[in-house]
Structure 1
């Protein structure tokens, strides 16, 4: 059985929970309080020197970090990972977008508002993060115009990766009511077989 080290309220960790639940795979989950500094302790750093979750550990002891790399590994050979090379490349394009454009503003705004005290200096970053996040959401909204999913004609890894922090963007101060295509897409994702909600 595979083991996931993760923090339930983290979107990056939730991606793995969602995929594994939709695949119907059995897995062991070990809670790691990354917000409380648990990933900086020597025993965790021995597993992942980068000090981050999620972390996948196989039965033979091999470990894999970085949420989207883990998604690709777990989805290999399943309908969530396209067989066509062009569709795979498009999937990777959205996974990179999620990590380099989406997560740094939408997830970070959520972290600051949800985990840092009101007087923390980083609270001053939130307005700029929201402006950047609106541009990111605008890209998604435009892409979803006239289509149901981010890649091809079926639900897949790109949808899972982008759903993780988009569905809880309101926690970071984002108003999704201005993005009807995104809202409809979120509902389609929630309606997929085996969908499981984020556990706070």
Structure 2
């Protein structure tokens, strides 16, 4: 059985749990919350090759790190990765966008607001800067959904999973206002109704 080391409150970890649930894959979950003894123990024991979660341990003994790489591995051979090379390229472009531009604004602002150990870094100036840049990111996503239901085309792909993780909590945790982005809000609703959907706070499959 697959073993997943993940942080329950982390969007990057949630991506993997969500895809596993949508695929109906069983796995053993080892929760490692930030700064917890479990996380430190996993690092010490070599369970996290890159020193962070998520980390997916395969039956073969191999360990995969980086959330979007894990998504690619799990989705290979399924409809979550399109066959057409151009559609694949569109999907990957959104996944690179998610890590390089989306997460540094949307996820970082949420972390600064939600994690007590980051409170000293959450200056008004930085929060305002991240709000402005994050709204620009949300506007690009809104434009990307113009006349289509999913980011890479007619069907959901792992690009949607990657982008959903931090976007669906952008209001509650990040303090963003999604009301100016109707296509984005409709996409969030569509994603949350996919068969096998599991919320961020949902149970991990043991």
Using structure 1 for the length normalisation, give the TM-score: 0.93
TM-fit CA distance, 1:50: 2.7
Q: Write the deviation string for residues 140-197 of structure 1: whole angstroms up to 9, x where unpaired.
A: 0011111110012101111111010000001111011111110011011111111111
Q: Secondary structure at the match of 2:138?
A: helix
Is the Cα–Cα contact under 8 Å of residues 18 and 197 in structure 2 kept in the other structure?
Answer: yes
Q: Quick one: distance in 2 between partners of 1:67 and 1:74?
A: 11
Q: Quick one: distance in 2 between partners of 1:114 and 1:167?
A: 15
Q: Secondary structure at the match of 2:123?
A: helix
- The 5 Å alignment of 1:27-176 reads 27-36=27-36, 38-39=38-39, 41=40, 43-45=42-44, 46-116=46-116, 120-124=120-124, 125-170=126-171, 171-176=173-178
Please, which moves more after superposition, 113-122 or 55-64? 113-122
Number of residue-to-residue matches in the alignment: 199
Is the Cα–Cα contact under 8 Å of residues 34 and 52 in structure 1 kept in the other structure?
Answer: no
What CA RMSD, in Å, does the superposition of the two structures yield over aligned residues?
Answer: 1.7
Q: Quick one: distance in 1 between partners of 2:121 and 2:64?
A: 34
TM-fit CA distance, 1:123: 3.3
Using structure 2 for the length normalisation, give the TM-score: 0.91
2:3 counterpart of 1:7: no
Q: Where does the alignment leave 5 or more consecutive residues of structure 1 unmatched? A: none
Q: Secondary structure at the match of 1:177?
A: coil
Moved over 3 A (4+): 35-39
Q: Write the deviation string for residues 1-59 of structure 1: whole angstroms up to 9, x where unpaired.
A: 101100111110111111110101111110012244754x3642523343211000012
Out of 161, 179, 200, the residue aligned to residue 198 of structure 1 is: 200
